[in-house]
Amino acid sequence: MQEMTPDSSGSGQTNIQEQPDRRVRIVTMLVLSIVLTWIAGYWVRQAEIIVLTCQMTEAVPSIPGLTALLLLVGLNPLLRRLPFVRDLSTPEIIIVYVFTTVATFMFGCGVTRFLIATLNVPYYFSTPVAPLETLAPNIPDWLGPGNFVVARWLYESSPTGEVPWEAWSIPIVAWTGFFLLFGGTLLCLMMLFAETWIDHERLVFPLVRLPIEIIGTETGVPLFRNPITWIGVGLATILNIILMIRAVFFGGPRGTMNFDLTKGIVGYPWQAIRPMNLDIRPDLVGLGYLISTELSFSIWFFYLFQKLQALVMAGAGLRLGGMPFPQEQGMGAYLVLGLVLIWKGRRAIKHAWEGWLRPEVAKNDRLPYRWALIGVIVGIFGLMVFLISAGMEPWLAGVYLTVLIMVSIVYGRLRGETGVPMLWAFPYGQQQKFMWNFFGGARIAPNAEDLRSPTMFAVLNFLSRGYFPTVSGYQIEGIALAQRTGINWKQMSSTLMLAIGFGAVAAFIFHLQPYFAEGGIGLRGGIWGDGIARQEFTTVLRAVDSPTPPDATRIGFTVAGGLLVALISAARSYWFGFPLHPMGYAVSGAFGHKLWGPFFLVWLAKSSLLRYGGSKAYLMALPAFLGFAVGHFLTAGLIWGSLGAALGGAFLRWGVWFG
């Protein structure tokens, strides 16, 4: 059936003559998105891999995507003045923004860069103490180059400086297919949950407001035409200039302002609260203004609660490395929240199922819920086939995949409900550690003669210590953006999937070229993640030599984290106005050490404005806070990153990380 396109009169009738133009515009936006992403690839390669002046793809949204948005919004008034050229509509700008953001997300250190390192570590870093080369044959040739010489060239440069594409072509296709399969499964899940989160619970999607404010779709005044915005931009610029001068000329610390609040604290039990740093992150402060006060309060409150736990445990004479195990608590909280979200979303799943049994149920759906359900089933089945074909035991693949998906669901909810602007806001590395803690080395690597399954489990550590599963955040925000700007769900879902696929292929190209031309160990950015990968492969060898039982202590804290978040959720259900948010507890355990400081400052500012000025004062200050975040992205990311990438030298003395 041909899609209906409303005519300019608003009658709702089909205007057949506009169909060819609409298709041409869609193709134009696709080409524009690919071109901007490809240009960004050169920028990322130089700034992140070769000279490492900043990690722009870690930002939320990614700085290349934000730059594309600002570029199109800035050029649009010029397009209106050109003859025979139509300016870009809001949906078209959003499509390009989403594509570029997600595609360059694939370039990040926690996705393709990490995967490349992991695939080559057993071939290059083998030692008599840790003979990782014994694990190398367990990696199928269709997933990695499978060659010791090629791995050496990756780190030390090839004789000709060219990439041996014959060794990498099949793995690139295989892993791109994996990313599409995993990303497609998560997209279908986000579509299913969209019915509950968007239509029924009406989540606010704070980060969706940023592109809308920049374009001026709902307010009528684009963000940068508001003079208050420039107050925030100016403050961020001044702050970054001070930090740049201090770092370049006076040997100051790298990155943004960081204060050690426990400096000088020694002696037991007080030293148990170390480390405790206060980070001043303009991007987190600015975008954190969009977050509810109860969540920002909960994040810093529960972070201090963890420090209190450590102090009490130390005072009681306990001396356990890692106590009070905040990440294990965060992992337990994430898993319980995942179960709660699935339970709350059961009606959406039922609705999708009924859409197949009774087509009239799905007739007026805004999203293809019944197809999304099939997509989830097919996607999970396909992922299981991929993992088992790669050598993993079915039970290990199934449990690990379940844990990864659960964390992805919660992260998607986190972005939709709270808008925490950080890719690492999940239990970093705990998805894999959860498996070792609960099952032990004796269960994961039971057979010393066949190590294919634990080896592939180690390869997939990039999904646990990297952040590809957090693409669910961009996906649910893309769905919300589509509904708020009138974009067809087919266009948005196609954009998200094409961005993952194109981004994966482009990421391999832009990483492998400098590695084989210069040698990974000779680049300032190196091959990120090889140290982590070595630890994972060494863990496999250690599990074979000295099988370990489940870790009762860490299991206990994981369960305790799950129970506590369940109690907080129950309290919010039965006690109106309960001040603590379960997401705050989960995030504080996952990555609270980076988030608590900025959100404490945001909580103070926002609470004061609401208390003494009301909603009017809050809305008046909003452009300044958004300008503070965007100003930081522009000065520390776009401008400084470009200067460092192009000129090097003194511009490399100050590195900015957005993760």
Query: Distance between alpha carbon 114 and the CA centroid of its chain, in Å?
Result: 14
Which value, to the nearest 10 degrees, does the dihedral of the CA atoms of residues 134, 135, 139, 144 take?
A: -80
Residues with Cβ < 8 Å from 494, sequence gap 6 or more?
Answer: none
Residues with Cβ < 8 Å from 80, sequence gap 6 or more?
Answer: 87
pLDDT band at 187 (very low <50, low <70, confident <90, very high): very high
- Segment of 274-288, 560-574, 631-645 carrying the highest mean pLDDT: 560-574
In-domain check, residue 462: yes
Q: What is the mean pLDDT of residues 141-146?
A: 91
3-53 tens-digit pLDDT: 434 443 333 343 444 444 777 777 888 899 999 999 999 999 998 999 888
Q: What value does the mean pLDDT of the chain take?
A: 88
Task: Write the DSSP string, 445-488.
Answer: S--TT--HHHHHHHHGGGGTTS-GGGHHHHHHHHHHHHHHHT--
The Cα 190–Cα 192 span in angstroms is 5
Name the pTM for this structure. Answer: 0.92
The Cα 438–Cα 458 span in angstroms is 16
Q: Looking at residue 414, what is its pLDDT?
A: 93
Which position has the higher pLDDT, 410 or 593?
410
In-domain check, residue 177: yes
Q: Looking at residue 361, what is its pLDDT?
A: 65
**Number of folded domains in the chain?**
1
DSSP state letter for 653: S
To 10 degrees, what angle do helices 452-459 and 530-545 make?
160
In-domain check, residue 8: no
**How many beta carbons lie within 10 A of that of residue 50, not counting itself?**
18
In-domain check, residue 634: yes
Q: Which residues pair with 259 in a beta bridge?
A: 278
Spatial contact of 215 and 363, defined as CB atoms under 8 Å apart: no
In-domain check, residue 460: yes
DSSP state letter for 280: E
Q: Amino acid identity of 334?
A: Y
- Only one residue has tokens 């039982």, namely 549
Q: H/E element holding 657? A: strand 656-657
Q: Looking at residue 581, what is its pLDDT?
A: 93
Q: How many residues does the chain have?
A: 659
pLDDT band at 218 (very low <50, low <70, confident <90, very high): low
Residue 11 token pair: 């009658």
User: Is the peptide bond between 324 and the residue preceding it cis, with omega within 30 degrees of 0?
Assistant: yes
Which position has the higher pLDDT, 365 or 535?
535
In-domain check, residue 9: no
The Cα 35–Cα 99 span in angstroms is 11
Pairing of strands 656-657, 54-55: parallel
Spatial contact of 382 and 181, defined as CB atoms under 8 Å apart: yes
Q: Looking at residue 13, what is its pLDDT?
A: 40
Residues with Cβ < 8 Å from 377, sequence gap 6 or more?
Answer: none
State the first-to-last Cα distance of the chain, in angstroms, to the nearest integer.
Answer: 45
In-domain check, residue 481: yes
Q: H/E element holding 526? A: none
**How many beta carbons lie within 10 A of that of residue 448, not counting itself?**
11
Q: What is the mean pLDDT of residues 63-67?
A: 94
**Residue 47 is part of which domain span?**
30-657
How many CA within 13 A on the CB side of residue 539?
A: 22
pLDDT at 302 over 60: yes
Q: Looking at residue 254, what is its pLDDT?
A: 55
In-domain check, residue 303: yes
The Cα 453–Cα 138 span in angstroms is 8
336-362 tens-digit pLDDT: 999 999 998 888 888 888 877 777 666
pLDDT band at 565 (very low <50, low <70, confident <90, very high): very high
- Radius of gyration of the chain from Cα atoms? 25
Q: Looking at residue 8, what is its pLDDT?
A: 37
Q: Which residues pair with 278 in a beta bridge?
A: 259
DSSP state letter for 88: P
The Cα 435–Cα 572 span in angstroms is 31
- Segment of 238-247, 553-562, 614-623 carrying the highest mean pLDDT: 553-562
Q: How many helices (H) and strands (E) does the chain have?
A: 23, 4
Residue 153 token pair: 């060239």
**How many beta carbons lie within 10 A of that of residue 83, not counting itself?**
4
Q: Looking at residue 11, what is its pLDDT?
A: 38
The Cα 100–Cα 361 span in angstroms is 35
Residue 133 token pair: 């080369």
Q: Amino acid identity of 369?
A: Y
How many CA within 13 A on the CB side of residue 637?
A: 28
